Amino acid sequence: MTVIATTQPRAALTEEARAELSALLGDRFTTSLPVREHHGKDESYHTPCPPDGVAFANSTEEVSAIVKICAKHKLPIIPFGTGTSLEGGIAALAGGITIDLSGMQQILRVSAEDLDVTVQAGVTRKQLNEHLRDTGLFFPIDPGANASLGGMSATRASGTNAVRYGTMRENVLGLTVVLADGRVIKTGGRARKSAAGYDLTRLFVGSEGTLGIITEVTLKLYGIPEAISSAVCAFPTIKGAVDTVIQTIQVGVPVARIELLDEVQIDAVNKYSKLDYAVAPTLFFEFHGTEAGVKEQAEMVAAIAAEHGGMEFAWATRPEDRSKLWQARHDAYYAALALRPGSKGWPTDVCVPISRLADCILETKQDLAESNMLAPMVGHVGDGNFHLVYVLDPENPAELAEAQRLADKMVGRALAMGGTCTGEHGIGYGKMAFLEQEAGEAFAVMGDLKRAFDPDNLLNPGKVVRV
């Protein structure tokens, strides 16, 4: 596997810079090789690329001070949350300093009346929901991994609940951001609507640390539904499953989650999570609302599924049963890797308009059938998003080349259908070429924005755009 180099030469960590960072942070600044290696890799197949040092920050003020030192010495800066990204977004391609924000775990304010909360960037989604447990509120965005909320904002994360609650784009009200020169700015606010100036919040959400470092996030909260019920439904064909999804969305059923697992993935999940679902294309559903509302939603979807060959729903209504079901879905990546011990995963995703979802999935499945690649499929199909994990030997050039060919073909197909090269994995450096193809002339405008915010190209260089 190769690393896409930046046009920027690898910076050197000078003794002067090292001394200044150590004076600021003490033993919270380290150049230990194991720590650097941990911070140079994510959950993907991408080659690890460690930084020259790691700085553990506890506050916005410390992040600002670290950035000022790095700017003075022209050291690249890479933000790090929990390391669960999938497109090489935390690789130190030009060296420099990783700023680890995982110690910033304060929940600064909860306003139950206004349904919002402000947290430091290192707070994870599970930590927040545990804190909110007695308030009757929850934060719904669930990308699977227990990711940090700062990282989720930076990558515009979504996940299983996005079909009803949206993505981080819709749920971030405001941010505190440290710019490339160390200045601290606040964007947005707690008001649910504003016509005041440029929408800088949306600019930073999804910028992957290339425009600024997110240190605090203000988020929308939601009331915990009166009733929650989950169900599993198997289908004889993947077309029947996908057509059920399309019709469910088109008739306006407010389903909370619709997840697709193909027969390869459901077999992997059964083995990994000790379940016994039919080995067939399968939909996982979850319904939120009042008791009567959930019953009505479920009856409507069950009728739609039956029209497309769906089998009888298997219900999970107790919290422990729902938890087991969705944990199995979240563990799908590791279940896929367990099909081939010693393998690595090459995950990729696309998102298309819901009307083209069946075409995109069926054509992609046909490509897989004609290939020798093991590639389970899962999808947040309620919003047109699905994923493949190519389970491969990273030392086998033929397998890498075939995975690349298939991934390129899938992305090209999605773009031709009016979709996007990534529904939720982000760009990092793994999908830069695809973003350039998708954005066209807008890609150059993104580069102009990058240069305006970060003229020395110090913030996560080599990611998202070419500078």
Residue 8's pLDDT band (cuts 50, 70, 90): low
Cross-strand partners of 97: 53, 77
Q: How far apart are CA 149 and CA 157, in angstroms?
A: 9
pLDDT of residue 1: 36
- The answer to whether 211 and 448 are in contact (CB under 8 A) is no
pLDDT of residue 2: 39
Residue 204's pLDDT band (cuts 50, 70, 90): very high
- The answer to whether 91 and 211 are in contact (CB under 8 A) is no
Q: What is the bridge-based pairing of β-strands 107-111 and 184-188?
A: unpaired
pLDDT of residue 7: 54
Instruction: Give alpha helix (H) positions in 109-211.
Output: 125-132, 149-154, 162-165, 168-171, 200-204
pLDDT of residue 5: 44
pLDDT of residue 394: 85
Residue 267's pLDDT band (cuts 50, 70, 90): very high
Q: How far apart are CA 230 and CA 369, in angstroms?
A: 31
For all residues of the chain together, what is the average pLDDT? 94
User: Residue 85: is its pLDDT beyond 90?
Assistant: no
Read off the pLDDT of residues 319-349 as tens digits, 9 standing for 90 and up. 898 889 999 998 999 999 999 999 989 999 9
- The answer to whether 458 and 70 are in contact (CB under 8 A) is yes
pTM of the prediction?
Answer: 0.93
- The answer to whether 35 and 102 are in contact (CB under 8 A) is no
The domain defined by 227-417 folds into: Vanillyl-alcohol Oxidase; Chain A, domain 3 (3.40.462)
The domain defined by 15-102 folds into: 3.30.43
Portion of the chain with pLDDT greater than 90, in percent: 85
Read off the pLDDT of residues 181-193 as tens digits, 9 standing for 90 and up. 999 999 998 988 8
For residue 287, give the H/E element and its range.
strand 282-289
Q: What is the dihedral of CA 282, 148, 87, 47, to 10 degrees?
A: -120
User: Residue 305: is its pLDDT beyond 90?
Assistant: yes
User: Residue 318: is its pLDDT beyond 90?
Assistant: no
User: Residue 422: is its pLDDT beyond 80?
Assistant: yes
Domain definitions of the chain by residue range: 15-102, 107-223, 227-417
User: Residue 144: is its pLDDT beyond 90?
Assistant: no
Distances (CA, A) of 340 to 268, 336, 366, 392: 10, 8, 22, 8
User: Residue 359: is its pLDDT beyond 80?
Assistant: yes
Portion of the chain with pLDDT greater than 70, in percent: 98
Indicate if 107-223 has the same CATH topology as 15-102.
Answer: no
* Helices (H) then strands (E): counts for the chain: 17, 18
Cross-strand partners of 219: 117, 172
3-state per-residue secondary structure call for 376-409: CEEEEHHHCEEEEEEEECCCCHHHHHHHHHHHHH
Closest alpha carbon to 53 in 110, 11, 81, 88: 11
Read off the pLDDT of residues 102-115 as tens digits, 9 standing for 90 and up. 999 999 999 999 99
Query: What are the two backbone dihedrals, phi and then psi, of residue 305, each rounded to the nearest 5 degrees?
Result: -60, -40
Q: Does domain 107-223 have CATH number 3.20.20.70?
A: no
Listing DSSP states for 223-267 in one string gives EPPSEEEEEEEE-SSHHHHHHHHHHHHHTT---SEEEEE-HHHHH
Q: How far apart are CA 118 and CA 362, in angstroms?
A: 43
Angle, vertex CA 343, rays to CA 338 and CA 347, nearest 5: 85
User: Residue 3: is its pLDDT beyond 50?
Assistant: no
Mean pLDDT of 146-160: 94
